[in-house]
């Protein structure tokens, strides 16, 4: 098994943390992992993306010409990456901020992540909503692995956000089940 993921959005949306958390969860589950971050000119407000690979075998290259899964958090990322997902892949996007004006050739999952995070009381939770939605429809790891990775790897200065992040994971999973199983 090998799965590749692209996370992309504006700096400050939690793109890097979401990718890093998936990498930690994969590592904690015994997978080989790569996490490659890339920032735009500004750290907060500029473009940011990262690539994550999870594999049960050694990873030959961390370069992802066409990721199997893309999580896009904003409109510019959608426009750039919607057409680059590998055949048979999945595109998960934040429908609170993105107008899907393209017809990607892969299945899509539209999640109102920003609106959901606001409803939970903190816009910063949007990344956890997106990440759990992804793992709900493409269960490379169980969502519970993300909860365990949060508990194990959340920095000390963010420990007060653990319960809110777990709540956001549950909300994203529920949204994904509803969106994925509902007729279009």
Structure confidence by residue, pLDDT tens digits, 88-120: 999 999 999 888 776 668 888 999 999 999 999
pLDDT of residue 45: 59
pLDDT of residue 133: 96
Scored b (16 or more CB within 10 A) or e, 53-83 reads bbbeeeeeeeebeebbbbbbbbbebbeebbe
pLDDT of residue 47: 77
Rounded to an integer, the average pLDDT of 35-40 is: 82
**46, pLDDT greater than 80:** no
Instruction: Please state at what angle helix 15-28 crosses helix 143-153, rounded to 10 degrees.
Output: 100
Beta strands in 95-164 (DSSP E): 108-111
pLDDT of residue 120: 96
pLDDT of residue 184: 47
pLDDT of residue 166: 95
Extract the tokens encoding 53: 């690979």
What structural domains does the chain harbor? 2-181 (3.40.920.10)
Q: Torsions phi, psi of 60, nearest 5?
A: -70, -35
> Angle CA(4)–CA(140)–CA(102) in degrees, nearest 5?
55
Q: How long a stretch of residues is the chain?
A: 184
């Amino acid at each position: 098994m090998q799965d590749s993921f692209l996370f992309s959005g504006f700096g400050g949306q939690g793109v890097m943390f979401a990718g890093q958390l998936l990498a930690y969860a994969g590592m904690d589950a015994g997978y080989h992992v790569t996490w490659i971050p890339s920032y735009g000119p500004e750290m907060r407000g500029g473009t940011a993306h990262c690539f994550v690979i999870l594999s049960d075998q050694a990873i030959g290259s961390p370069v992802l010409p066409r990721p199997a899964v893309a999580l896009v958090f904003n409109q510019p990322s959608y426009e750039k990456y919607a057409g680059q997902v590998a055949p048979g892949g999945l595109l998960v996007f934040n429908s609170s901020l993105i107008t899907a004006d393209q017809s990607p050739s892969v299945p899509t999952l539209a999640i109102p992540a920003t609106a959901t995070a606001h409803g939970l009381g903190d816009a910063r939770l949007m990344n956890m909503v997106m990440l759990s939605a992804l793992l709900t429809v493409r269960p490379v790891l169980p969502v519970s692995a993300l909860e365990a990775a949060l508990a194990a790897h959340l920095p000390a200065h963010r420990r007060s956000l653990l319960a809110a992040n777990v709540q956001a994971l549950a909300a994203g999973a529920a949204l994904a089940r509803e969106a994925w199983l509902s007729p279009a």
